[in-house]
Amino acid sequence: MLQNNITVGVVGSGAMGAGIAQVAAVAGHPVVLFDSNATALEKAKNNLTATLQKLQEKGKIGNAAEIIGRFSFAADMNAFKDCGLIIEAIVEKLDVKKTVFSELEKIVAADCVLATNTSSLSVTSIAAACTKADRVIGLHFFNPAPLMALVEIIPAVQTEPSLIPLAKALMLQWGKAPVITKDTPGFIVNRVARPFYGEAIRIYEEGIADIATIDWALTTLGGFRMGPFTLTDYIGHDVNYVVTETVFSSFFFDPRYKPSFSQKRLLEAGWLGRKTGRGFYNYAEGAIMPEPNKDAALGQQIVDRVVAMLINEAVEALHLNIASAADLELAMTKGVNYPKGLLQWCDELGAEEVLDTLDQLYNDYHEDRYRASVLLRKAVNEKKKFL
């Protein structure tokens, strides 16, 4: 089970599936890349060949032809019969994934590990489609998989415990930064990062600041690489909004994860961001980008509010044992490139200052959205740090 020389199968030849296949092949594994769409499969084959040749030219890999030779491109799932690990990377629809896992189980050997790359669905629900559910696990890569170091390892309720360290060891061998997280909505990154988008949009909707000013504040003053509006336009609102909606409903409609009408309207208009030329910003040729209001006091108010919400989410995840403190920090720095881990940020600001910001918001709004984690309050009362 999960030997270094296993054949790795990947279901789905889209950007994510092809990226994962590339990572496995570069790490030395024979790889079977499957797609029922012959055109998509051919496109993936051509793109992978071109990508690996470019990497060889830049001196980042050895012999590209040798790595390409490790691939088999299959339009029939029976090609997976000798695989030791299969990673599914298809559409985020639970019924579709469950059907695929049920089909895979009929083909592969009893000791083949079945992994899902889901970013927001229950791994436990996917595993329930299998008779041998103990060999199912979540391996959530981030896009683009060859460049992004983070992999969230998500054991289902049914997962054999001994599989977890084996999966971690394999990801380390692949040059990744693995973290282990409970099977809860959004796992680590897509849960903890929600306020970066949601609270920023709330500030915009309330008319406190416009999108350019909020983006300016969080990049220039907050140190984030991209502002939330630039980032959601880059990700695509068809992806980002759907994750928010999924997390919100999966958490029994907890107001902390409530989606926004502003983003929903963009989705309805087909203004999905950069890929359609319009999102929060207009990317049409000749369009003038809005100028931010570089008021330092306003900017700091925005940063304090968004960062306090992010810290509270990380502290609550720690409180509920979603992941260890070290894995929470690694996930947010490697998965979404935050300037520092949120627990470290809390220690530097002081838990009391973060709690004061949240309590003031709660007093102003009287919304459960702004409730402070009991662990944050405890840290203040006991004068403790998180790291």
Catalytic residue numbers, as ranges: 119, 140, 152, 190
Alpha helices in the chain (DSSP H): 15-26, 38-57, 64-68, 94-107, 123-127, 163-173, 189-192, 194-205, 211-216, 228-235, 237-250, 261-269, 296-319, 325-334, 342-349, 351-365, 374-381
| Residue 85 burial (C-beta neighbours within 10 Å; 0-12, 13-18, 19+) | buried
The helix/strand count (H/E) of the chain reads as 17, 8
CB atoms within 10 A of CB 243: 22
Q: Show the CA angle centred on residue 227, arms to residues 179 and 324, nearest 5°.
A: 20
Dihedral sign computed on CA atoms, order 28, 45, 136, 190: positive
